[in-house]
Amino acid sequence: MNKDEFLKELDILLNNLPSDEKREILFDYEEHFSIGLKEGKTEEEIIENLGSPKFIAKQYNANYMVNQAESNPSASNIFRAVFAIIVLGFFNLVFVLGPFIGIIGLLIGLFGASIGITIAGISLFGGIATFSVFDPYISLPIALTSNAGGTIFLGIGLTSLGLIFFIGNCYLAKWLYILTIKYLKFNLKIIGR
Amino acid sequence: MNIQFKKGVLELCVLSILTRKDCYGYELVNDISKNIAISEGTIYPLLRRLTKEGLFSTYLKESQEGPPRKYYRLTKRGQEVKDELTNEWFAFVEGVNTIIRGNDE
């Protein structure tokens, strides 16, 4: 591989980055080559010391994706950041992907539960409120219909509980997002290949 | 030396060199790889990340030969991080040394 091939491969591998950022990075390597050549090194020697474009590009990509996920929080950005960190090395596959899947599972479970409780509350409330109309078509347990007032309050209570639970989950998700970013940054710092 | 370990130390090395003088990328890479076996390609991504974190500022300066070079200068924040990392490093090394020598006293 020579200098032009190296830079061209790096250029292609950095396609996920904005073009001005990519240009700055390539500029750094062009400078590195030009100084190295002036000091009497060959292009091959310089490339050997630099390492492969793939190895280099992975690091830029991981840095960029984590920054993106931090400044523009979104589900797709955090997935990209996690993925970019994972491809840095096997260590990350275990220590990043594992906890991340755990967190996603936890959030799905909690959000599912909160939505379930909310729906249960609404159904209870709605079922009792419209019971007189739909009486011939639906059947409700006698325990609920015998004390309609109580059941309505139960419905309202459950709905509120579900909604509060849901809002709490939103805060939890936000907090976990920030925590994940911190963990990814920590990984950027200590993990090489 | 283990590569996981190296990357954290690399940050301290770059910061320490820049405490003494402003450098261009090649100079930094050279100073470090003279002393530690590293894949030089790790340093530029590191420089870029630390610049974004505000530890360095960069400027272009003319060189006698060829085009202007990009120099890195430590910011106040960079200096603080360097001091912090230096303390951590010495505490760590001291701890390891104590273990290696065997704790007599």
pLDDT at A193: 42
**pLDDT tens for each residue of A138-172:** 777 777 777 778 888 888 999 999 999 999 999 99
For chain A, which residues make up each domain, given as ranges? 1-51, 72-190
B1 pLDDT higher than 50: no
* pLDDT 10s digits, B64-96: 777 889 999 999 999 999 999 899 899 989 999
Mean pLDDT on A4-22 = 94
User: Can you tell me which residue has the tokens 């959000």?
Assistant: A111
Q: Give B90's Cβ-side CA count (13 Å radius).
A: 5
- Give contacts of B7 with chain A, Cβ < 8 Å: 189-192
Q: How close does chain B come to A54, measured CA to CA in Å? A: 10
ipTM of the complex: 0.83
Q: The pTM is what?
A: 0.79
CB contact under 8 A, B7 and A191: yes
Q: Which of residues 37 through 56 in chain B touch A, CB cutoff 8 A?
A: 39-42, 44-45, 47-49, 52
For Cα atoms A106, A107, A109, give the angle at the middle one, nearest 5 degrees. 65
Say if the Cβ atoms of B40 and A36 lie within 8 Å.
no
Selected for mutation to probe chain B from A27, A29, A31 (highest B CB count within 10 Å) is A31
At B61, phi and psi to the nearest 5?
Answer: -135, 140
Coil, helix or strand at residue B56 = strand
Q: What is the pLDDT of residues A52-73, one digit of tens each?
A: 999 899 999 999 999 999 999 9
User: CA of A126: how far to CAs of A96, A118, A130, A158, in Å?
Assistant: 45, 12, 6, 12
Residue B59 has pLDDT above 70, yes or no: yes
Reduced DSSP (H G I as helix, E B as strand, rest coil) percent helix, strand, coil of chain B, to 5:
65, 15, 20
Whole-Å CA distances, A122 to A128, A132, A149, A158: 10, 17, 15, 8
Domains of chain B by residue range: 3-101
Determine the pLDDT at residue B5.
Answer: 60
B42–A192 CB contact, under 8 Å: yes
Task: Give the percent of chain B with pLDDT over 70.
Answer: 90
**Rounded to whole angstroms, what are the CA distances from A125 to A91, A117, A156, B105?**
51, 12, 6, 75
SS3 label, residue A172: helix
What is the pLDDT, as a whole number, of residue A147?
A: 79
What CATH number was assigned to the domain covering residues B3-101?
A: 1.10.10.10
Cα separation, A83 vs A100, in Å, equals: 10
Asked if residue A173 lies in contact with residue A107, where contact means CB atoms within 8 angstroms, the answer is yes
Chain B nearest CA to A30, separation (Å): 11
Q: Do A51 and B48 touch (CB under 8 A)?
A: no
Does A117 or A126 have the greater pLDDT score?
Answer: A117
What is the C-alpha to C-alpha distance for residues A147 and A39, in angstroms, rounded to an integer?
92
